Structure 1
Amino acid sequence: MLKKKTIAIDMDGVLADIEAQALNWYERDFHVKLTKADLQGKTEMDLFPEKGIIRDFVLTKGFFLTLPVMEGAVEAVKSLSEHFEIYVVSAAMEFPLSLNEKLEWLGIHFPFISWKNIIFCGDKSIINTDYMIDDHIKNLDHFKGKTIMFHAFHNGSVTHHDRANNWNEVIALLNQV
């Protein structure tokens, strides 16, 4: 039997819609409604006039546990798991409160992913899978395998990785291999 190829899938911004969560919390706390389109082309530092507000959000209990699931993610990952060994890889160590919440979130939304296939780390350069799906260039640029950059407000101008704007495009890219 042939060994399945492996995929490392980022959590925030790929499986979990952290942009929607940040916008919802911002509207809740500041009564200003912004859209994802308002975020395009901005850096994380320039997202909102209130400096450090995103950091405050991610350091708040419940932020990661209540993240919305990215549209199409559950079905796509289930489909991919038929042909690939899936690993969820999150650089979660910067926000220690997130560890339990992320693990619980994955159990709720992706119960078919074994705890053995969940990797919380500080630096994704140690990951050695065949493919990586991530929204951050810092993780993709140093990855040795094939990369798929999941579209996010902060990577719109990057062109040196295969881009997927949604999970249907991820499936299409991986069907070509």
Structure 2
Amino acid sequence: MARIAIDMDNVMADLTQHLLNVYEKEYSEVVDPESLNNIPEGSAFPEGVALKILSAPGFFRNIPVMAGSQEVVKALCEKHEVFVVSAAMEFPLSLAEKLAWLNEHFPFISWRNIVFCGSKTIVEADYMIDDHDKNLSSFKGTPLLFTAPHNLPLTEYKRVNNWEEVAEYFAVSNVETV
């Protein structure tokens, strides 16, 4: 049994798509998702706009679930010790919203296995699935980079592009992802 730490934003929750949807709704401007490739997160928007959207009440509560994540995380929980680890402290409103989101979409994850922190450098696990180099670079276990537009240039990690690849990596069978 392995201990697996899994990030929320852009791994379990489709933060990028939600940000694009909210931006379009609030600013009546469509941003091509391809324009986000290879640039730092939030940089495709006018200065301060991404931060404003991320800080708004309800933003983190309403993020869509990443395709396949529920089924694969549940299967992983049956074979491994799984922790959801989110650097949530930057956006204080996100704490309650992320917990409510997890309770709704991942009710099989115990509150004991949810870690909200400021820095993931304290995380000790066998594996970490995350979309940010800053979280994986100091990790002492095996890092798995979950593909997101901002991390496409990174080549120093084992990359997983979707939850089907996560299931394959951990040899979780009998999992149907959508």
TM-score by length of 1: 0.94
Q: 1:124: which partner in 2?
A: 120
The alpha-carbon deviation at position 95 of structure 1 amounts to 0.8
Of 20, 25, 30, which residue of structure 2 is paired with 1:28?
25
Letter of the aligned partner of 1:170 in structure 2? V
* 1:107-128 CA distance string (max 9 Å, x none): 0000000000000001101000
Which residues in structure 2 correspond to 1:96-111 (within 5 Å)?
A: 96-111=92-107
Distance 1:156 1:44 in 2: 11
Compute the displacement of 1:9 (Å).
Answer: 0.2
1:52 alignment counterpart: 48
Amino acid in structure 1 at the alignment position of 2:44:
L
Partner of 2:14: 17
CA distance in 2, matches of 1:46, 1:116: 35
How far apart are the structure 2 equivalents of 1:64 and 1:45? 15
Match of 2:4 in 1: 7
Using the aligned pairs only, state the percent identity.
49
Asked if 1:79 corresponds to 2:75, the answer is yes
Corresponding position of 2:111: 115
Distance in 2 (alpha carbons) for counterparts of 1:100 and 1:145: 29
Unaligned runs of 5+ in 2: 173-178
Shift of the alpha carbon at 1:35?
3.3
Q: What amino acid is aligned across from residue 81 of structure 2 in structure 1?
A: E
Cα distance in 1 for residues equivalent to 2:16 and 2:99: 19
Q: What count of residue pairs does the alignment treat as equivalent?
A: 172
Deviation at 1:36, TM superposition (A): 2.2
**Cα distance in structure 2, aligned partners of 1:64 and 1:46:** 19
RMSD, matched Cα: 1.2
1:158 is displaced (CA, Å) by: 0.3
